[in-house]
Amino acid sequence: MKTRAVLFDLDETLILEEASNDESARIACAIAGARCGLDQGALFRAMRERSVALFRAGPAIDYCRAIGVSSREGLWGSFDGDAPELEVLRRWSPRYRVESWSAALHDLGVDDRALAEELADVFMRDRGARHVVFPESEPVLRALQPDFRLGLITNGAPEIQRVKIRASGLANWFDTILVSGEVGVGKPLKRIFEIALEQLGVAAADAVMVGDSLNRDVKGARDAGIGAIWVNRTGASLDARYPAPDAQISDLSPLPDLLARAKSAS
């Protein structure tokens, strides 16, 4: 593998995503638990179920699926931007947030709109400020930068992903950063990989994608003719629906040595 460029995913590859969402949700649930004597775990589960259902029934679900906006991002993102779909989300998301919490509270026997509004605000504010970088991310990027062109390809709404990138402090390590909501196409479609290669000035055969998703990162890269390294932090099994990665790592720490060995062998 003659690697000149390394492309990275963001969420769950360089930064925590789901654990941050969970922690913000639990903080909000704790308020309701203390206020109303509710089972916080039951409220957490009800909130996840209700928010997903409402999001899937929302007015911009096709757009969200195309660029990779999750239901939980809908609970805190600002959706700034010029795209018509972003304007729809800006108008709809405040109501969606309150209705998600209101429905979850109702499932546990509490009908309190004011409390739902409070919990929606607590989650939005806490999650918007909670950005946790995996401890090895910056050291690995620092080790790779002298020898490789580095790119970041992340799915999501422009402002949501830009907030994460700014808060992570990782932006300066990359020669190019692509957000699906800014370019109009997301992983696993090969066009977003092609744009990254064009901006980095390298051929597909000289690049490798590093990410946690077998579909978006591994399959997407392979479809674009790019090598793929799967970051499997959870110990999941390979899925026959997707091509096998060139390599599998449990976190980013082995990446510099892995790429150095591959480079010397080519």
User: Is the model's pTM score more than 0.75?
Assistant: yes
Query: What confidence tens digit (pLDDT) does each residue in 209-235 have?
Result: 999 999 999 999 999 999 999 999 999
Query: What confidence tens digit (pLDDT) does each residue in 34-54 have?
Result: 999 999 999 999 999 999 999
- Contact predicate 244/263, CB 8 Å: no
Expressed in angstroms, the distance from the first to the final Cα of the chain is: 6
Low-confidence residues in the chain, pLDDT < 70: 1, 264-266
Top-level class of domain 5-16+132-265: alpha beta
Per-residue model confidence (pLDDT) at position 196: 98
Give exposure, 148-183, as e/b (b: 16+ Cβ within 10 Å).
bbbbbbbbbbbbbbbbbbebbebeebbebbbbbbbe
Task: Please report, for the chain, the start and end positions of each structural domain, with discontinuous segments joined by +.
Answer: 5-16+132-265, 18-129
